[in-house]
Amino acid sequence: MCRMNGLTGKKMQKIFKAIGPESVHSDARSLVEYCCFRFLSKDSSLLHPCLKEPAFQRLIFVTMLAWERPYRSRGDSQAKVSEKHSLQLKRRLVGEEAFVRIAPAVAGIADWTTAHNLFKALAGNDQGISFTSWSTYIGELLKVHEGRKSYQFKDSAQLHNERILCIASGGKHPVLKWENNMAWPGKLILTDRALYFEAVGLMGKRNASRLDLTVEGSLVKRTRVGPLGFDLLDSAVSVTSGPQLDTWVLEFVDWGGEMRRDVWYACISEVIALYKFIREFGPEEGDQSVYNVYGAQKGKARAISYATNAVRRLQALQYAQKLLEEPTKLVQFSYLQNAPYGDIVLQTLAVNCWAGPLVTKVTDQEYQSRGSPKSTNEATESSSHVFDIDGSVYLRKWMKSPSWDSSASLAFWKNSLSKRGIVFSKNLVVADMNLIEKAAVTCRDKYQVAEKTQATIDAAMIEGIPSNIDLFKELVFPLTVLVNNFEKLRRWEDPLLTASSLALAYTLIFRNMLSYVFPAILIVLAGGMLLLKGLKEQGRLGRYFGKVTIRDQPPSNTLQKIIAVKEALREVERYLQSLNVSLLKIRAIILAGQPQITMEVALALLFGATILLIVPFKYIAAFLIFDAFTRELTFRRQMVLRFMSLLKERWDMVPATPVVVLPFEDDESDAPSQRKESSNVVKPEKQLKQ
């Protein structure tokens, strides 16, 4: 790396000691970072041009090895070490820490948020990444970049200067678009803004249709397809452009495996998540304040380049057959949508894209940073801009997302400006981490905790227990109507009726008439029952009054009935599994399965008991009614959402009590000593929404 910088090793070391802090002068790992980052900081392309050279690929691999083991053994001469490394390079493995630190610094190779998942994909079952896997990945990545440049679309005017990301042109891997139970083969193209489908008909190819993915409310989800309404084929995705626009159902036929649909799902979801990120964290269209910050006009293009690079890396891994079971973990915007601490990482990405030096003069109050010691209270703190590690400014008026006001966000930005190393750019910092890297490390740690918790939940899910869903829905229908009417009152859909109900409720409370409410309800209920009894005895209610009526399923053959029963059982099973997991979590809290959470819940219960003992019940009831009827109002909605998000995060961190399943034992079995215990195997984490 020293030669790539045009300097000798000794000269580079002198410069490093001259400009670096004293704490890192004797740190060989920081010296490796300095030599590497100094050269890489000279390039700002999407894919580093030197990657085309095998020597540079080898140099980056050796740099990662050097970062991992920066000190050589005693007694090894320079020549002996060089010979030893050249002979054993193909057998050496790069560890995760070295890969996550060096690889994202090379343009196009990885990003800071998903580098650890990329490492797992490249390493596979090994302890690290071999040079063969590394060179294969780089080679496939270069092929993907060159292939997209050389491709020409039939109607190029339709692309509107869009960048092509993925192409499915049929042949051995056809794409079918399902419409009215009919499948049409064709050519599918994904760009950085839309999907294009060019159907193949009897008279040749038709004009390409376009589905915009930049519209708010766009959605992609996995789905099943099949002829004549039989949803047997689990190889399709459903893509919707906005809440009231078209929906495409696309099937990806893959004769060689099952990952093709999942890869396309990840690519499409990445484009949708990209524009959701731009809407939430970027300036509004036509916002003139972008001209007050140098380089902010290119922020949207930077965000798009991050997404396109992620999609191309995913394709390279697909061609190299190095995919994870869940490809969405390899594309950052889609991955961060559901990852814990993902909002904070998205904030750092927004600062990385749109922040820059101010080109116009602003007041001291506007310029004050969240991390500045001038901040004296949260009001001042929340009204300030944020700064990147190189001094770039991200304006307060661009912070439209509610996540900026969360406690985690305030804590992160308050402690984010400590500089301990040498800063080359926003992304390249020697002996320290950039902002994205800091947030990504916390996100990764929280995700690992969530994985372990989810593993306990997966182990607790036991299959079975059929039920009649239609009958259950009919039986609870009166309760459903009651709940829906209460929700209408709570949401102020009829303000006059809601106000009257509140007036009646508060009159009963403050007139000390609560003790009469429950007896009155029982009297009304008893009176209604006696009235119905009398009417029925008079024959005035009809013969069918009180019978539960459900509609039969439409005529179907045996196969359709089996599929319907299976879907019904699956729905009930999912509900029962979720219920069992909740009960197991409550059991774990009560029995101190997680001491810290048990302590927090116990303190909360003690606090509630104290309130009930000290405060008169009528004031508590009045407060609860006020809370229930103001949650959906504008002045409280964001606060309630943040509180519910905090509760959900804490609940998701509670592990379920382990479940032990004993094997079936016949009555004629021998001694009880022959019994064996078998527990559920902990499965890998699957991103389930509970």
What letters, b where the CB count within 10 A reaches 16 and e where it falls short, cover 493-517? eeeeebeebeeebeebbeeeeeeee
- pLDDT tops 70 at residue 497: yes
CA atoms of 49 and 286, how far apart (whole Å): 34
Neighbours of 621 (CB within 10 A): 16
Which range among 133-147, 598-612, 644-658 shows the weakest confidence by mean pLDDT? 644-658
| Cα distances (angstroms) measured from residue 217 to each of 222, 271, 440 | 17, 13, 27
CB-neighbour burial class of residue 328 (10 A; exposed 0-12, middle 13-18, buried 19+)? buried
Q: Which two tokens stand for residue 171?
A: 């042949």
Q: What is the pLDDT of residue 368?
A: 47
Q: Identify the pLDDT of residue 350.
A: 96
Q: How confident is the model at residue 536 (pLDDT cuts 50, 70, 90)?
A: confident
Q: What is the pLDDT of residue 111?
A: 94
Say whether pLDDT at 661 is over 90. no
- Reduced to 3 states, what is the DSSP secondary structure of residue 168? strand
Mean pLDDT of 665-682: 46
Phi and psi at residue 391, to the nearest 5°: 95, 0
| Residue reference for tokens 């407060």 | 623
Q: How many CB atoms lie within 10 A of CB 468?
A: 12
Judging by DSSP bridges, how do beta strands 175-179 and 182-191 pair with one another? Answer: antiparallel
The per-residue pLDDT for 263 is: 93
CA-to-CA distance for 301 and 274, rounded, in angstroms?
11
Q: Between 229 and 185, whose confidence is greater?
A: 185
Mean pLDDT computed over 402-431: 88
Burial of 618 (C-beta count, 10 Å sphere; 0-12/13-18/19+): middle
How far, in Å, CA of 566 to CA of 572, rounded?
A: 10
CA atoms within 13 A on the CB side of 132: 6
The pLDDT tens digits for 598-618 are 898 899 999 989 998 998 888
| Cβ-Cβ contacts under 8 Å for 502 (sequence gap 6 or more) | 625, 629
What residues form DSSP beta bridges with 358? 293
Phi, psi dihedral angles at 425 (to 5 degrees): -160, -175
Q: Does the pLDDT at position 552 exceed 80?
A: no
pLDDT (mean) for 427-441: 93
b/e map 112-140, b = 16+ CB within 10 Å: bbbbbbbbebbbeeeebbbbebbebbbbb
Per-residue pLDDT at 396 exceeds 80: yes
Strand 247-252 and strand 129-130: pairing? unpaired
Provide the pLDDT for residue 371.
47
- Residue 49 DSSP symbol: G
CA dihedral sign, ordered 584, 585, 588, 589: negative
- Give residue 241's identity as a one-letter amino acid code: S
Instruction: Say if residue 47's pLDDT is above 60.
Output: yes
Q: What is the pLDDT of residues 321-360, one digit of tens each?
A: 899 989 999 999 999 998 999 999 999 999 999 999 988 7
DSSP annotation string for 338-349: HSTTHHHHHHHH
User: Please, what is the average pLDDT of the chain?
Assistant: 82
Instruction: List alpha helices for 69-111, DSSP H.
Output: 78-88, 96-102
The identity of residue 403, as a single letter, is S
pTM score of the predicted model: 0.70
> Considering only 27-31, 109-113, 256-260, 546-550, which range has the smallest mean pLDDT?
546-550
Return the amino acid letter for 270: E
Question: What pLDDT sits at residue 467?
Answer: 42
Which one is the CATH code of 157-441: 3.40.50.1220, 2.120.10.10, 3.30.9.10, 2.30.29.30? 2.30.29.30
Taking 90 as the threshold, does the pLDDT of residue 416 lie above it? no
Q: How far is CA 184 from its chain centroid?
A: 33
Nearest of 621, 613, 611 to residue 510 by alpha carbon: 621
Share of the chain above pLDDT 90, in %: 37
List, by residue range, all CATH 2.30.29.30 domains of the chain.
Answer: 157-441
d(CA 129, CA 61): 9
pLDDT of 379 over the 70 cut:
no
Tokens of 554: 């439409």
**Residue-wise pLDDT tens digits, 554-580:** 666 667 667 777 777 788 888 888 888
d(CA 93, CA 55): 18
- Residue-level pLDDT at 339: 92
Q: Which of 485, 634, 497 is nearest to 505 (CA)?
A: 497
Backbone angles phi, psi at 383, to 5 degrees: -100, 10
Inform me whether the pLDDT recorded for 672 exceeds 80: no
Q: Which residues pair with 537 in a beta bridge?
A: none
What is the number of alpha carbons within 13 Å of residue 86 lying toward its C-beta? 7
Q: Is 53 exposed, middle or buried (0-12, 13-18, 19+ CB in 10 A)?
A: exposed
The share of the chain scoring above pLDDT 70, in percent, equals 81
pLDDT confidence of residue 673: 45
For residue 22, give Cα distances in angstroms to 68, 264, 653: 22, 50, 41
Q: Is the separation of the CB atoms in 659 and 680 below 8 Å?
A: yes
Judge whether residue 365 has pLDDT over 70: no
Radius of gyration over alpha carbons of the chain, in Å? 31
**pLDDT tens digits, residue range 73-103?**
555 555 554 555 555 677 889 999 999 999 9
Q: Is the pLDDT of residue 462 over 50?
A: no
Residue 315 — pLDDT band, cuts 50, 70, 90? very high
Angstrom distance (rounded) from CA 599 to CA 582? 19
3-state SS track over 366-381: HHCECCCCCCCCHHHH
CB atoms under 10 Å from CB of 152, counted, come to 6
Residue 544 is predicted with a pLDDT of: 63
Q: How far is CA 168 from the centre of its chain?
A: 26
Residue 463's pLDDT band (boundaries 50, 70, 90)? very low
Q: Does residue 48 carry a pLDDT above 70? A: yes
Dihedral (CA of 282, 287, 293, 299) sign? positive
